[in-house]
Structure 1
Amino acid sequence: MAAGADARIEARDGGAVLAVSGRLDTATAARLWPRAPDPAVTAFDLAGLESVDSAGAVLLLAIAPEAELRGGSEPVRAVIERTRKALAAAPPPGPPPPYHPISSIGRATVGRLRDMQAGIGFLGEAIVTTLRVLTKPRLLRWSDVLRHLDEVGTRAFPLTLLLGFLIGVILAYQSSIPLRRFGAEVFVPNLVGISLLRELGPLLAGVVLAGRTGSAFAAELGTMTVNEEVDALKVMGIDATAMLVLPRLVAATISMPVLALLMNLAGLAGMTLIMGTLGYPWAAVESQLQQWLTLKDLVGGLFKAACFGLVIAGIGCRAGLSAGRGPRAVGDAATAAVVGGIVAIVAMDGVFAVLFFRLGI
C-alpha cells in the first residue's frame, strides 16, 4: 500500500492476479518498488487503475513482463504496451561482470596490442601518403600548410619567448649558487648555453608544442571524427591523410626548429641579464659563449626539435582520427595527444642523448 495507489495479489483462474488501483506514477512506483510481490503473476487487473506513467509501467513489467492485461482504460493499456515494446527493443543493461585480475590483464594487453597495431597502420599510411605527395605535389594543400604554420609557429612566438627568458633567468640564478663557492661564476654562460642549445631548448619547445598544438590537432580532428566528417571524405574518395594529416606534419616539422631557436635566444638573453646583475659585462659573457658553444651544438638541437615536431604532430593527428563516438571522445583524444607527445619527446631525447654520446657529437 502506498499513497495514491494500491496493489494486492489475488488468486483467480488458477493463477496469481495483481490488482492495481489508484494513480501509479513515479513517486508511487518508487515507494512500491521495494515491496514488489514475489509470487509469479500471470495477469494484471487494471480496472481500478486511474492513470499510469512510464515508471509505473516499468514497475509492473518488472514484476511480470509477459502478464496479461485485464480491464483498465485504453490510455492506461496503451502506456503499458508501449513500455513493454520499448523494453523488449532495448532491454536494460545487465550487471557488470565480476572482476577477475587475469582477465583484466589480458584485456589490457590485447587493448595495448591493438593500439600498437593501429599506430603502426597510421605510420605506414602517413609514409605512403608522403611518398605519393613527393611524386604528385599537387596533392598537398599548401594553403592549409601556411595556415597551420601560422597556428603552430607564429602564434606560439610570445609564449616561447616568455618561457625561454624565464628559463634562462632560473638557470643562471640556480647555477651561480654552487659555482660561487669555487669562484667560478664566470662559467655560468657555458653551463646555461650548452644546456639550452643541446637539451632544454628543443625539449621545452616540444612541451609547448605538445600542450598547445598537439591537443589542438587532436581536438580538431576528433571533432571531425565524431561528426563523421572524416568518413564523409573517405566516401567521396578524398585521401583524408593527405588532406588533414600531412599539412599538419609539415607545419609542425618546419615550425619546431624555429621555436627551439627562439627558446635558445630568449634563454641566453635572460642569462645575460642575470650575469649583468652579478657584475659580469656582456663582453665576458660573449667570450665564454664563443669559446664553448659550437655550431654542432646548435645544429644537433635543431635537428632534435624537427624530429620532436614531427612526432608530436603525428601523435596528435592519430589521437584525433582514432577518437570514439561518445561525448568524452574529443577530450580523451586531446588528453592522449598531450600525454603521448610529452612522453614520446622525453623518450626520444634519451635516445638522442645516447646516440650523440656514442657518436661523439
Structure 2
Amino acid sequence: MLSVARTRIIEDTSAARVLDGAEGRLALGGRWTADQGASVERAARRIAEAAADRAVVVDLAPIERLDTLGAWVLERTRAEIEAAGGRLSYAGATAEYRILLGEMSLREPDVPPAKPVGRIYGALDGLGRRVVGGGQDMVTGIAFLGEVVAACGRVAARPRTFRTSAFVNQIEQVGLRGAPIIVLISFLVGGIVAQQGIFQLQRFGAQTFVVNLIGLLILRELGVLLTSIMVAGRSGSAFTAEIGSMRMREEVDALRVMGLDPVEVLIVPRILALVVGLPMLTLIGALSALLGGGLTAMLYGGLTVDQFLARLQAAVGLHHVFVGLIKAPFMALVIGIIATIEGFAVEGSAESLGRHVTASVVKSIFMVIVLDGLFAVFFAAIDF
C-alpha cells in the first residue's frame, strides 16, 4: 500500500508534496509551481519510486496550483516511468491542467536522425534538394502571381477599395527616396565603363566609339539591370522585412480576422508602386550614367560636349531607350513577387526573418539577371 507518513510531509503546506494514497493511487497536494522547485523535484522522485514497476493513477484534484514548471516535471516523470516499464495516468485534472500537461508532454522526434552518408552522395543529395526546391519556388511564385492578378482585378472592379495613401507612400519610398543612391551609383558606373572603354579603344585610335559603347550598353542593358539590382537590395528587402515583421506580430492574421484580404491591403500597393517607380528610376539612372560617361569621355578621351552629343545621337535611337523601359515593369513585378512571398514565409523568430530577407535579395537579383538575359535573346531575335 502506498502511503506517506504524516511526519515526513514538508512543514510548508504550500509546497508540492505527495499525500496519502490508496493502493495504486497517489494524491498530490500543495503548489506545483516554479517557486517550489525543490519540493516539486522531491515529490516527483517519490512518484517515480512508487510507480517504477506498475500502473499508478495520480490524482491532481488536491493540487492548489499548477504552472508550466510543475506540468513539465510531471510529464518528465511520466516519460521516465513509462521508459522503465511502469505506467502513470492522471485523474481529477481540470480542463486548464489537461491543456497545460498536453502542451508540456514529451514527444519523440517524428523523423529519426539521418544516417551518415558519403560526401559524394551527400553533395548529390543536396544538389537534388536545391533543384526540387527551386522548382517548388517557381510553382509557388506562379500561384502567388495569380493571387496578385486576381486581387488587382477585384480592386479594379471596386476602385474605392484601392488604398491610394498606401500606394503614394510606397511610390515615395521606392522612387523618391531611392533616386539619390541610384543617381550616384549610376553616375559612377557610367564613368568607370567609359574610362575602361577609352583605355582599350585608344590602342586602335577609336576612342570616339566609346560613345557608342556607353550609349548602347547603358540604355539597353546596364541602366535597367543596375537599377533593378539596387531596387531589389533596397526596396525588395524592405518589403520582406515589413511583411515578415507583421507575420511575427500576427498582424496579417488580424487582417484576415477583420475580413480584409492581406494581398489587397499589403501586396497590391507595393507591387504597383514598384511597377510604376522602377521605369522612372531606370530612366533617371540611365541619364545619370550617360552623364558620368560623358564627363569621363571629355576628360580622358578629349571629346567636346558637341562631339559627344552628336555621336550619341547618331549611335542610339529611341527604340534603344524603349528596350530598357520595357524590361523595367517585368523586373519590378518579379522583385515584388519574390519579396512578398519571402515576407509571408517568415515564421516567429528573428533568425527566420533574417534568412528570408537574405533569400529575397539573392533570389530577386538572380531572377533579374535571368530575365534580362531572356529579354536580350528576345530583342536580338526580333532585331529590335
Task: List runs of 5+ in structure 2 lacking aligned partners.
Answer: 1-35, 53-68, 80-103
Contact 1:226 1:329 in 2 (8 A): no
2:106 corresponds to: 91
CA contact (8 A) 2:218 2:286 kept: yes
State how far apart, in whole Å, the 2-side matches of 1:226 and 1:195 are. Answer: 43
- For residues 105-150 of structure 1, the C-alpha deviation after alignment (integer angstroms, 9 at most, x for no partner) is 7766665554444323211111111122222222221110100000
Q: Which residue of 2 aligns with 1:131?
A: 153
Shift of 1:96: 3.3
TM-aligned CA distance change 1:99 to 1:133, over 3 Å: farther
State the secondary structure of the residue aligned to 1:360. Answer: coil
Q: Equivalent of 2:50, from 55, 60, 68?
A: 68
User: 1:266 Cα deviation (Å)?
Assistant: 0.9
Go from structure 1 to structure 2 and tell me whether the alpha carbon gap of 1:92 and 1:145 turns closer, same or farther (over 3 Å shift).
same
Tell me the distance in 1 between the aligned counterparts of 2:329 and 2:125. Answer: 42
Q: Which residue in 2 is equivalent to 1:269? A: 291
1:319 matches 2:342: yes
- 2:235 corresponds in structure 1 to 213
Provide the rounded CA distance (Å) in 2 between the counterparts of 1:131 and 1:180. Answer: 56
Q: 1:164 and 2:186 equivalent? A: yes
**Counterpart selection for 1:345 from 336, 351, 368:** 368
- Compute the displacement of 1:268 (Å): 1.0
Distance of 2:146 and 2:365 partners within structure 1: 22
Contact 1:65 1:84 (8 Å CA) reproduced: no
Asked if structure 1 preserves the Cα contact closer than 8 Å seen for 2:141 and 2:337, the reply is no
AA in 2 matched with 1:333? H
* The 10-residue stretch of structure 1 (205-214 or 90-99) with the greater mean CA deviation from structure 2: 90-99
Q: 1:92: how far off?
A: 7.2
Please give the per-residue CA displacement for 1:302-327, whole angstroms capped at 9, x wherever unaligned: 11112111211111111101222233
Q: Displacement, 1:329?
A: 2.0
**Structure 1 gap ranges (5+):** 1-51, 71-79
**Among 257, 263, 279, the residue aligned to 1:241:** 263
**How many equivalent pairs are there?**
302
Aligned to 1:306: 329
Measured after TM superposition, the shift of residue 328 of structure 1 is 1.4
Question: Partner amino acid for 2:74?
Answer: K
Q: Where do residues 90-109 of structure 1 align in structure 2 (5 Å cutoff)?
A: 90-91=105-106, 96-99=113-116, 101=122
Letter in 1 for 2:114: P
Residues 191 and 293 in structure 2, CA contact (< 8 A), matched pair in contact too: yes
Which residue, out of 300, 315, 334, partners 2:357?
A: 334
Counterpart of 2:186 in structure 1: which amino acid?
G
Superposition misfits of 4+ residues, deviation over 6 angstroms = 102-107
Query: Measured at CA, do residues 310 and 233 of structure 1 come closer, stay the same or move farther in structure 2, by a change above 3 Å?
Result: same
- 2:187 counterpart SS class: helix
Tell whether the 8 Å contact from 2:339 to 2:364 is kept in structure 1 after alignment. Answer: yes
| Higher relative contact order (Cα pairs below 8 Å, separated by 6+ residues) | 1
Partner residue, 1:288: 311
The residue identity in structure 1 corresponding to 2:247 is T
Match of 2:273 among 211, 226, 251: 251
CA distance in 2 between counterparts of 1:293 and 1:108 reads: 42
Instruction: Measure, in 1, the Cα distance between the counterparts of 2:295 and 2:127.
Output: 54
Residues in 1 aligned to 2:280 and 2:189: alpha-carbon distance in whole angstroms: 17
Distance 2:286 2:266 in 1: 31
Q: Secondary structure at the match of 2:115?
A: coil
Q: Partner residue of 1:153?
A: 175
Contact 2:183 2:284 in 1 (8 A): yes
Amino acid at match of 1:286: L
Q: Does 1:120 align with 2:135?
A: no
Q: Does 1:202 align with 2:191?
A: no
What letter corresponds to residue 98 of structure 1 in structure 2?
Answer: K
TM-score w.r.t. the length of structure 2 is 0.71
Amino acid at match of 1:147: N
Q: CA RMSD in A?
A: 3.2
Closer, same or farther: CA 110–299 of 1 in aligned 2, 3 Å: closer
Q: CA deviation at 1:68?
A: 3.0
Q: Residues 292 and 104 of structure 1: is their aligned pair in 2 closer, same or farther, counting only changes over 3 Å? A: closer
2-side partners of 1:194 and 1:153: how far apart?
Answer: 24
Quick one: distance in 1 between partners of 2:134 and 2:323? Answer: 33
What one-letter code is carried by the residue in structure 2 that aligns with 1:91?
Answer: L
- Contact 1:57-1:83 at 8 Å conserved across structures: no
Aligned partners of 1:242, 1:248: CA distance in 2, in Å? 10
The more displaced of 306-315 and 208-217 is 306-315
